[in-house]
Amino acid sequence: MARKGRASRGKLEIDAYLAFAIFAAVGVATWGLDQAVRLTLAWSTLLVLAVVHGTGQKVQFSYTLTELARGAVVGVLLAVPVCLVLRDFLTATSQRLFAADSILSLLWGAVLLMPAVEALYFRGLVYRQKGLWPSVLLYAGAGVVYFLPVTWDGHLPILAALVCGMALLGFVYGYVRAMHGLATSLVCQATINCVFFVLPPLAQGLTRAVG
């Protein structure tokens, strides 16, 4: 009993909704900062909250190459048709939302850091504690935290579209997580982010260089 009590006291858990409120507060507090700095602080805050919230809990993250490949294939099948239709919109959106000064910075933020942090929090810990739909709604809410400052000045329809899109993608990622695991969901998101936010500006840059 004493051993169990000590183990229980060693856990430091934060309710997922409270953690998200802290994350949102950081987003408001950093409103006036450069967008790239804001996103870095937002992702860092989300990572810290996920780690603190997950203290004493187990997040299963086993995977096989087949599962990773499945996530990439699902991501490509979902993202490529949208990218072909909305390439110019996605290029402008990527430049406005991420404000990256290079393709490598964009690759690091949108494809590596963002999917890893969000998978750990939304599809890992929130999903375990609250279920699919709360994880979807909180993920859509994160879009407001991320992108409201850069869409506030006459671009609110873009923000609304982004939030709706993130809600839809949040459901897709949550469903993939439920069916195939967290790693597959993470790779799916990383692939979609790459197609949506990295390939369009990369293609635009290459076209200008060749032209």
The per-residue b/e assignment along 171-208, b for 16 or more CB within 10 angstroms, e otherwise, is bbbbebbeebbbbbbbbbbbbbbbbbbbbbbbebeeee
Tally the domains of the chain: 1
pLDDT-derived band of residue 1, with 50, 70 and 90 as boundaries? very low
The pLDDT value recorded for residue 13 is 66
Q: Is the pLDDT of residue 135 over 80?
A: yes
**Tell me: the pLDDT tens digits for 8-37?**
444 556 788 988 999 999 999 999 899 889
Region of residue 99 (left: phi > 0; alpha: psi -120 to 50; beta: else):
left
Cα first-last separation, the chain: 74
The pLDDT value recorded for residue 162 is 87
Its domain, for residue 130, covers 2-210
pLDDT-derived band of residue 51, with 50, 70 and 90 as boundaries? confident
